A and B are shown apart, each in its own frame.
Chain A
Amino acid sequence: MNPVNDTIRFENVSKFYGEVLGVNRVTLTMSPGITTLVGPNGSGKTTLMNLMTGLVQPSRGTISVLGLEPRNATEFFCNLGYCAQFDSFPRGLTGFQFVLDSLMLFGMSEEDAHHLTAEALERVQLDVDAAQRKIAGYSKGMRQKIRLAQAIAHHPRVLVLDEPLNGLDPMARAESLALFQELGRQGMHVVISSHILDEVDRIADRVVLITGGYLIAQGNIHEVRREVRDKPMQVLIRCDSPELLASKMFAVNHCVEARLHADGHGVFVRTADIDQFYRLLNDIAVEGLVRIEAVAPADDNTNAIYQYLIGSDGSAA
Chain B
Amino acid sequence: MGVIQLDRLEVRLGGRTVLNGLTGELRGHAVGLLGPNGAGKSTLINTLLGFHEPAGGSARVLGLDVHDDRMRIRQSVGYMPENDSFIGNMSGVRFVRYMAELAGLPAEEALERAHEALFYVGLGEVRYRKIKTYSLGMKQLIKLAQGLAHGPKLLILDEPTNGLDPTARQRMIQLIKDIRKHGGTHLLISSHLLRDIDETCDEVLILNKGRIAAISNIEEERRSHRNFIELEMAGNTECFVVKMRSLGCECACFAGGRVKLVMPDVLSARDLYVTAAEFGVQIRRIQQRRDSLEDIFLRAMEYEGGRVDHVSLPA
Contacts and interface: CB of A to CB of B under 8 A. Distances in A.
Q: Give chain B's interface secondary structure class.
A: mixed
Interface in A183-217: 195-198, 202-203
A116 interface: no
A286 B270 contact: yes
A174 B168 CA distance: 24
Interface string A159-170: 000010011111
Nearest to A198: B195
Contact of A303 (B166, B268, B312): B166
A152 B314 CA distance: 21
What is the interface residue range for chain B against chain A? 35 or more
Given A40-B167, A166-B163, A203-B314, A295 B37 contact: no
Contacts of A40: 165-168
Interface stretch (A14-22, A104-112, A250-258, A275-283): A275-283
How big is chain A's contact interface, by range?
Answer: 35 or more
A171 B314 contact: no
A12 interface: no
Contact of B283 (A197, A293, A295): A295
A21 to B, nearest CB: 16
A278 B234 CA distance: 10
Interface stretch (B61-69, B72-80, B142-150, B284-292): B284-292
Interface string A35-78: 00011111000000000000000000000000000000000000
Contacts of A196: 193, 195
Contact of A170 (B168, B192, B269, B286): B192
Interface of A: 38-42, 139-142, 163, 166-175, 177-178, 181, 195-198, 202-203, 275, 278-279, 281-283, 285-286, 288, 291-297, 303, 306-307, 310-314
26 contacts: A41-B137, A41-B168, A42-B135, A140-B37, A141-B37, A166-B163, A167-B37, A169-B36, A169-B37, A170-B192, A170-B194, A170-B294, A171-B36, A171-B306, A195-B169, A275-B282, A282-B273, A282-B283, A293-B288, A294-B288, A295-B285, A296-B285, A297-B284, A303-B166, A307-B167, A312-B167
